[in-house]
Amino acid sequence: MKASQVLTQDTIAAIATPLGEGGVAVIRVSGGEAPRILQKLFRPGRKEWESHHLYVGTMNVSEEGRMLDQGMAVWMKAPHSYTGEEVVEFHVHGGALSTHRILETILSMGARLAEAGEFSKRSFLNGKIDLIQAEAVCDLVSAKTELFLQEAQRRLQGGLSQHINALRQSLIQLLAHVEATLDFPEEEGVGEIHRDQAQNQLKPIQEKLKKLVASYEEGRRIREGIRVAIVGRPNVGKSSIFNRLMNFDRAIVTEIPGTTRDTIEEVVSFSGIQFHLADTAGIRSTSNRIEKEGIQRAWGQLRLSDLALIILDGSENLTDEDRSLLKEAPMHRSIVAINKIDLPEKLTAQTLKPVLNGTPVIPISALKGEGMERLRGALVQEAFEERKEGAQGVMITLSRHKVALERGVKSLEEADRALEQGLPLEIVAGELRGALDAIGEVVGVTTNEEVLNEIFRRFCIGK
């Protein structure tokens, strides 16, 4: 959207703080009418308004009208504001009713109620932030774990945006070369690009893009948390371990094998990471229909999980059921916990080593609470195994980004193939343009209106 269009936008207002009683509430107004509303509503101790300065004063319905509240106001003159427009904010006492009265007065003075995310949308449309940063604002507000918060902060600072924009620049250069060759096919030298040269330029872009797509697996786990399936044969202590990890007695524990039937799922956070723990039915062969169904579900959980926590009973020898589960371990990201180490030992980590091929083995006692910290540590460690390689590097955490970038990768592969097979350069240029479009969607330069609306609708009112 062009600046001229922005000027014609109406003025919006919303309460930017959560509803309810609180020390302070903030009402935000953005748009051309904001300064007039400020001067009409707010009586500061002094007349002149300096941008970005807080003034103490009163808010009145009209010149002689009743006083609504005492508070502070700030005017952030365009374009030096969050939205890039004239922005005024009122800091008022945080009573639900009184804040609403002030908002209503503002609306009666020529503003309309802002839609969800509309301030951020204007900020994006006015080029203050790109789409990646707008989404980061939303994630920063909703982040529930430290790791995701940190990732959102990096995104807001522009880490991912810079990376993607650099990729776009390299692509634009390459496209310009290809197009120049198309435009002046006869002219030797100037602007002409050789196919192998083009391929050499394309390679690093392709690789960086692929790496970014691949980072989504980790990004998703940071955003959504790690799905852990606690599996093992009956009575080994799965529910006891689940309860210990949750720090409360969520699942029923008895000495009867086959206690847990249905899968029990709970979310817990430690070390800044969210874990979705699933306690499952003990795996064995049974003719009981209910238990059978439970066991089916346990296998289902295992397949769905990011991480398998396989439990063995250290006071008993390995059984065939244990062995069939342990066979899964190397195929899956897994941790093996040997439980009941408070009892006489039949099974040691040492004896399991040859079977396990590097899978971590943690001895614990769920009954006594021993080894639980080590187990938590192992869960954290295994959750992000790839982190060892550049934990703080750029990554994507949103599926919207992944889908768009995958399209970009595909187009670049097609471009590469066209170059390789000597197909017309028009085809190469077309694919490069397709890739540019796809990548541009991530930062918001080529995103269509519908998608934009969808993105900003997820925001809260006043954001």
Ligand X SMILES: Nc1nc2c(ncn2[C@@H]2O[C@H](COP(=O)(O)OP(=O)(O)OP(=O)(O)O)[C@@H](O)[C@H]2O)c(=O)[nH]1
Please report, as ranges, the residues that interact with ligand X according to CB under 6 A. 232, 234-240, 253-255, 257-260, 281-282, 339-340, 342-343, 365-367
Give the residue carrying structure tokens 């099974």: 347
Rg (the chain; Cα; Å): 30
CB-closest chain residue to ligand X: 282
Which of 60, 201, 259, 263 is in the footprint of Mg ion by CB under 5 A?
A: 259
CB of 28 to Mg ion, least distance (A): 51
Of 370 and 416, nearer to ligand X (C-beta) is 370
Of 98 and 286, nearer to ligand X (C-beta) is 286
Of 311 and 383, nearer to Mg ion (C-beta) is 311
Stretch that binds Mg ion, among 135-143, 190-198, 230-238, 290-298 (CB under 5 A): 230-238
Alpha carbon 28 to its chain centroid, in Å, reads 26
Exposed (0-12), middle (13-18) or buried (19+): which is 324, by Cβ within 10 Å? exposed
> How far apart, in whole angstroms, are the C-alpha atoms of residue 74 and residue 397?
35
CB of 361 to ligand X, least distance (A): 15
Stretch that binds Mg ion, among 46-54, 62-70, 149-157, 256-264 (CB under 5 A): 256-264
The alpha carbon dihedral of 187, 191, 197, 202 has a sign of negative
Amino acid letter, 170:
S
Which residues are CB-contacts of 76 (< 8 A; sequence separation ≥ 6)? 51, 52, 82, 86, 87, 88, 89
| The 226-231 sheet, strands edge to edge | 264-270, 273-279, 226-231, 307-313, 334-339, 361-363
Which residues are CB-contacts of 332 (< 8 A; sequence separation ≥ 6)? 302, 305, 307, 308
Of 131 and 309, nearer to ligand X (C-beta) is 309
Of 82 and 242, nearer to Mg ion (C-beta) is 242
Which of 260, 301, 305, 411 is in the footprint of Mg ion by CB under 5 A?
A: 260
Stretch that binds Mg ion, among 159-167, 209-217, 252-260, 267-275 (CB under 5 A): 252-260
Beta bridge partner(s), residue 15: 27
Partner in contact with 366, chosen from Mg ion, ligand X, none, beta carbon below 5 to 8 Å by kind: ligand X
Stretch that binds Mg ion, among 119-127, 151-159, 260-268, 444-452 (CB under 5 A): 260-268
Of 25 and 278, nearer to Mg ion (C-beta) is 278
The torsion angle over the Cα atoms of residues 341, 342, 344 and 348, rounded to 10 degrees, is: 10
Partner in contact with 343, chosen from Mg ion, ligand X, none, beta carbon below 5 to 8 Å by kind: ligand X
> How far apart, in whole angstroms, are the C-alpha atoms of residue 207 and residue 349?
41
CB of 369 to ligand X, least distance (A): 9
Beta strands 42-44 and 54-60 are antiparallel
Of 205 and 231, nearer to ligand X (C-beta) is 231
Stretch that binds Mg ion, among 8-16, 134-142, 161-169, 231-239 (CB under 5 A): 231-239
The pair phi, psi for residue 394, each rounded to 5°, is -70, 145
Under the criterion CB under 5 A, does residue 239 sit at the interface with Mg ion? yes
Tokens of 449: 């209106």
CB of 324 to Mg ion, least distance (A): 18
Of 9 and 315, nearer to ligand X (C-beta) is 315
Under the criterion CB under 5 A, does residue 411 sit at the interface with Mg ion? no
DSSP-derived secondary structure letter, 206: H
Give the residue carrying structure tokens 């039949």: 346
Partner in contact with 143, chosen from ligand X, Mg ion, none, beta carbon below 5 to 8 Å by kind: none
Of 77 and 346, nearer to ligand X (C-beta) is 346
Partner in contact with 339, chosen from Mg ion, ligand X, none, beta carbon below 5 to 8 Å by kind: ligand X
Binding interface with Mg ion (CB under 5 A): 238-239, 259-260
